[in-house]
Structure 1
């Protein structure tokens, strides 16, 4: 992957809290008024980490959407070489260790893919939705297909048996939870390997997450992670047809899941079709206008989507666009595709 120009090194990506953080509720109550205000500000903030070895148009849009919705944004791994999908895990683990020195363990952090996500809801809304989780748990984005290794489907469904919606398979491109728990997850993903060596960057991040969760459960110590099966926070868009509608009735454009009626905070254009649908959403929402961005500000950067953000996605573009991750061997021989997944799932799990 090509190294990004220094234009991407925005100072806001290095904006850390420097005030002392008191780690127990009792200590907070004993602090003077200024200390209480600092603790409240820290707990209400949410830090978004996005691994972007190259800063692209979609990264700039994600950063602006984070700022407009009250999040604190960090680019991670900028200018470093891209060696494979697990590059993200290695970069996240390093940055989370740095943040632990500055922030309390309960600080909410969110990890997002940098080239195909955008934030549509506020930090206050995220806090409300995260309050439904047990303390010390992470929330993971969920998608309809167990991939790229379809043959893990039976084990993943045994680990997450709630099938009340079709979004029931972990997606590693969207995670949110307390800093200390998130760091534990990333440390284990990188270092708790079968051979005891650090995870190679060439590995697939999502296969690694699936394998790790299955192994931990088999050891009788399942990791405290819940899937976002109702798409309250993350809407994964790798679908045969859109499962959402654009809602322009409020003060800001949103998505509404047609099945669960939730309004996801994050749109994630994962997978082949997800790229199409996210590109179309940018256009239908007029998202650049809403965020106060223009293509003139972005045109010096490359784009990841099949067309520049805000451009209409035509059938001709869909026919021509072939995503780079379909290259042979990218997923160690695993296949993508809805029909293939359904046939494998039926073979391994039945028609349930």
Structure 2
């Protein structure tokens, strides 16, 4: 009996629960179609930030209505103080026509510093899940009145304070909120919304809440450490690690504009691992379709002694761009380089459309000189582009100017890096004090593991600017001078933070709510192609006659290009060497320029030994078989010469004397001078070396007659030395040899006794 009663009770409660669940329990609402979502944003100008916002909206097919475009901004300077009321006024007016639309959901967001990371279906789903009529974005910092902090409802976790950069709600409810606006355009919009939200009665009546855990809205200010990129197969998302959420709207409020720029290099579909850069070919300029090429003013800046300047200037000639469309402006701040510029001008004065030089006698600062160059383009309505390049940039890509123009950006630079280092011409992020900080993707961009076109906060050395931008967005002119900043930093800061009313240089934390963010010009770097490199100028000593010879350590790639024979690498790829006598190998090693400059350096030093037996330069003070020579050590070139041996002679040694691994060490390294009047020949002798190199530094039959070398054991002579080519032969025991007489002119050779 008791068991029967128990069963009846259980059955009763089951039926009761079923009736409750079937009649009184709230039902999950049907998903709203995306057509029921309308995005409203305020923008008075089409800034780079606004255009980026629209691209992200169009990617997800949002329906967007822009309020206030073309109107004068009267909302105050919110970077300095409160403001932004004009936005509420515009929204109030727009909502008057939308208030009666049933089930219409309105999403009101900022646009200059905001992007979408997800689509309208996702945003509507998350809004319905919140189960409120109005949802505001939330942040961890309170603005504009800290005294209101205690009036906010307590929460267990999440962001506590309202941010007005993102609002989503049913149209009728949003209308009831904004219809209360009766303040001025420059009153604070966030304070207006905050006071309504903090009113318990209104909060309940209007069924408002905050997006505490960033399900829809991600405000970056105060939350950068919580945010990272989540790479997917189709697109990239922003993930909030504190709440494990994937926000749909990402807002770079406050001082996080540059971090938003970084995120927008990937979100929503700009770049991913599977497809690389998806937007790099959007809106490009097809130069082949133009009737004529744009006019370009090239600004060249030589601000410190710079290695390989003649080579730098020559690369301007090799640019694949019509020279009649290139005007050249040069600022040279170094007397040392006047000879290089003069020679270049004399040889190429008629190549370019115009060629203007401002020299060190003008005593211009770097900032003043760069302002002058940029102003030449700004004032000339026919100047389509301004291409600024510093003398430490070695452009190896002849298409550089064309490639930059084709990308169709307002400011864009080609990636150039210092050989073997991570040093480049851009920064991926800035520290709090405005200097370099390494972004997460910096190394991958520098090493071209991620290739694309990147929005960055700082660039220098080389970049292209549209002439129209100089005459409009950057028309104030004095952009390279700002406080105590270097000119490049001043330009980038002015471009980033340009507003109609310039903001404070160091805004306080309270000013981080910036409704109208800096309408700056975005700066881009492209690494889609190899463009060239930066050379080091830090330790450039100009006290020698040919100073570039000493750059083998600082700038090894440029040194090799200038001083190593063009056929040197063929030794290893095509066996490009000869064996004119047994175990005597002949191969190209020095360029003509290397030979000429080494001879010039020795003649400039001038203290030839005279071929005497007494020689204080060597141990013991006596030379058995003396030559008329100058030692490398005498001109301070011994370390560089030994490095040359290890880098360029040792590999050949291993190839021709298999199994022998040279130490690349030599005590005797010198240049010999043969003339009929001083010393014409050298008697038979062995060298105090394991092997010897003997490099011809000038041309037989042009600079001298006679000369050569005879190896007695093999009765073999080499009488036609080639300039820049080296003999390599064993030094002891087997290869007794003599220097054949020079009968006319002057013969120069460079000799090293290696592994003594």
TM bucket, shorter chain: 0.5 to 0.7
**Does the aligned pair in 2 maintain the 1:43–1:107 contact within 8 Å?**
no
CA distance in 1, matches of 2:34, 2:192: 30
Q: By how many angstroms is 1:260 displaced?
A: 0.8
1:169–1:326 CA distance, 2 compared to 1 (3 A): farther
CA distance in 1, matches of 2:185, 2:208: 23
Match of 1:200 in 2: 184
Q: By how many angstroms is 1:41 displaced?
A: 8.7
- The correspondence of residues 40-119 of structure 1 with structure 2, limited to 5 A, is 44-84=35-75, 85-100=84-99, 104-119=101-116
Match of 1:277 in 2: 259
Match of 1:155 in 2: 151
1:222–1:310 CA distance, 2 compared to 1 (3 A): farther
Greater helix share, structure number? 1
Residues 1:242 and 2:225 aligned together: yes
Match of 1:193 in 2: none
**Does the aligned pair in 1 maintain the 2:231–2:237 contact within 8 Å?**
yes
1:297–1:79 CA distance, 2 compared to 1 (3 A): farther
1:43–1:64 CA distance, 2 compared to 1 (3 A): closer
SS of aligned partner of 1:99: coil
**Does the aligned pair in 2 maintain the 1:45–1:71 contact within 8 Å?**
no
- The correspondence of residues 8-19 of structure 1 with structure 2, limited to 5 A, is none
Q: By how many angstroms is 1:223 displaced?
A: 3.7
Q: By how many angstroms is 1:219 displaced?
A: 7.3
**Does the aligned pair in 2 maintain the 1:64–1:291 contact within 8 Å?**
no
Q: By how many angstroms is 1:144 displaced?
A: 0.9
Greater strand share, structure number? 2
CA distance in 2, matches of 1:276, 1:88: 24
CA distance in 2, matches of 1:200, 1:172: 17
Q: By how many angstroms is 1:233 displaced?
A: 0.5
1:298–1:123 CA distance, 2 compared to 1 (3 A): farther
CA distance in 1, matches of 2:171, 2:93: 13
Aligned length: 273
Could you tell which deviates more after superposition, 314-323 or 60-69? 314-323
Q: By how many angstroms is 1:267 displaced?
A: 0.5
TM (norm. structure 2) is 0.33
CA distance in 1, matches of 2:99, 2:148: 33
CA distance in 2, matches of 1:314, 1:186: 40
Match of 2:176 in 1: 184
CA distance in 2, matches of 1:74, 1:92: 11
SS of aligned partner of 1:125: helix
**Does the aligned pair in 1 maintain the 2:236–2:266 contact within 8 Å?**
no
Where does structure 1 lack aligned partners over 5 or more consecutive residues? 1-39, 191-197, 301-305, 339-352
Residue of 165, 173, 182 corresponding to 1:173: 165
SS of aligned partner of 2:38: strand
Could you tell which deviates more after superposition, 43-52 or 83-92? 43-52
Residues 1:142 and 2:138 aligned together: yes
RMSD of aligned Cα (Å): 3.5
Q: By how many angstroms is 1:67 displaced?
A: 2.2
Q: By how many angstroms is 1:221 displaced?
A: 5.4
Match of 2:245 in 1: 262
SS of aligned partner of 2:115: strand
> For 1:230-267, what per-residue CA distance to the aligned partner results, in whole angstroms no more than 9, with x for missing partners?
10101000126431111122311110101111000010
Q: By how many angstroms is 1:128 displaced?
A: 1.4
- The correspondence of residues 203-242 of structure 1 with structure 2, limited to 5 A, is 203-214=187-198, 216-217=199-200, 223-239=206-222, 241-242=224-225
Match of 1:194 in 2: none
TM (norm. structure 1) is 0.67
CA distance in 2, matches of 1:46, 1:149: 32
**Does the aligned pair in 2 maintain the 1:43–1:106 contact within 8 Å?**
no
1:150–1:261 CA distance, 2 compared to 1 (3 A): same
**Does the aligned pair in 1 maintain the 2:253–2:512 contact within 8 Å?**
no
Match of 1:20 in 2: none
Match of 1:33 in 2: none
CA distance in 2, matches of 1:129, 1:78: 30
Match of 1:335 in 2: 510
1:220–1:276 CA distance, 2 compared to 1 (3 A): closer
**Does the aligned pair in 2 maintain the 1:48–1:110 contact within 8 Å?**
yes
Q: By how many angstroms is 1:151 displaced?
A: 1.9
Could you tell which deviates more after superposition, 86-95 or 289-298? 289-298
> For 1:108-128, what per-residue CA distance to the aligned partner results, in whole angstroms no more than 9, with x for missing partners?
110011201111101111121
**Does the aligned pair in 2 maintain the 1:243–1:259 contact within 8 Å?**
yes
- Structure with the bigger RCO (C-alpha within 8 Å, sep 6+) is 1
**Does the aligned pair in 1 maintain the 2:197–2:208 contact within 8 Å?**
no
SS of aligned partner of 2:176: helix
- The correspondence of residues 287-326 of structure 1 with structure 2, limited to 5 A, is 287=270, 289-290=277-278, 293-294=282-283, 299=410, 310-313=454-457, 320=493
**Does the aligned pair in 2 maintain the 1:59–1:114 contact within 8 Å?**
yes
**Does the aligned pair in 1 maintain the 2:33–2:121 contact within 8 Å?**
no
> For 1:8-63, what per-residue CA distance to the aligned partner results, in whole angstroms no more than 9, with x for missing partners?
xxxxxxxxxxxxxxxxxxxxxxxxxxxxxxxx997643111110011212212212
CA distance in 2, matches of 1:211, 1:261: 30
SS of aligned partner of 2:97: helix
